[in-house]
Amino acid sequence: MSYLFKNLNLFLYEKRDCALLVFRIILGGMFIWHGFPKIMGGVEGWTGLGKSLSVVGITFAPAMFGFLSAISEFVGGICFVLGLFYRIASFFLFSNMMIAFFTQMIAGKGLFKASQSLEDGSAFFAAIAIGPGKYSLDAKLGFLKQ
């Protein structure tokens, strides 16, 4: 039994860069999917998104904050999928998700509504430390120490 687990562990370890690529495509793809309509929402949509910060007392420039959130999701998702400026994109996506989590909790929406933001934010936090893997533009451009 130990032999089986040892070989399975070795096999999975050797495939970690493939797993990171799949992880980047799925999670980043979902953020592109969710971010695109927010980008296309224009000033009205950005204002609505930015107004969520009012629960923490930030009531100025809601369109700007909404736009920053939308661009973080859409462009950050693209960078995440490509593995380009991966850790920077992961940081912005993590920050965006933590702001979403806290504003949802403070607004009284509860953990059931806010849990997805917390889960996604946790994944992006881990992604900062783990890195994009060798199948990324960061690796191809020499931004990663291999």
Q: Quick check: 145 pLDDT over 80? A: no
53 vs 136: CA distance, rounded Å: 34
Answer whether 35's CB lies under 8 Å from 89's CB.
Answer: no
**Average pLDDT of the residues in 57-68:** 93
30 vs 93: CA distance, rounded Å: 12
**Average pLDDT of the residues in 6-11:** 90
Q: Quick check: 65 pLDDT over 80? A: yes
Q: Quick check: 129 pLDDT over 90? A: yes
Q: What pLDDT is attached to residue 3?
A: 87
Q: What pLDDT is attached to residue 146?
A: 61
**Average pLDDT of the residues in 116-139:** 96
Q: Confidence band (pLDDT; 50, 70, 90) for 111?
A: very high
DSSP string, 48-89: HHHGGGGGGT--S-HHHHHHHHHHHHHHHHHHHHHTSSHHHH
146 vs 51: CA distance, rounded Å: 43
Question: What are the CA-CA distances from residue 131 to residues 46, 85, 118 (Å)?
Answer: 30, 10, 20
Q: Confidence band (pLDDT; 50, 70, 90) for 103?
A: very high
Q: What pLDDT is attached to residue 96?
A: 96
Q: Quick check: 64 pLDDT over 90? A: yes
**Average pLDDT of the residues in 85-95:** 97
pTM over 0.85: yes
What's the pLDDT tens digit per position in 16-56?
A: 999 999 999 999 999 999 999 999 999 999 999 999 888 88
Q: What pLDDT is attached to residue 56?
A: 84
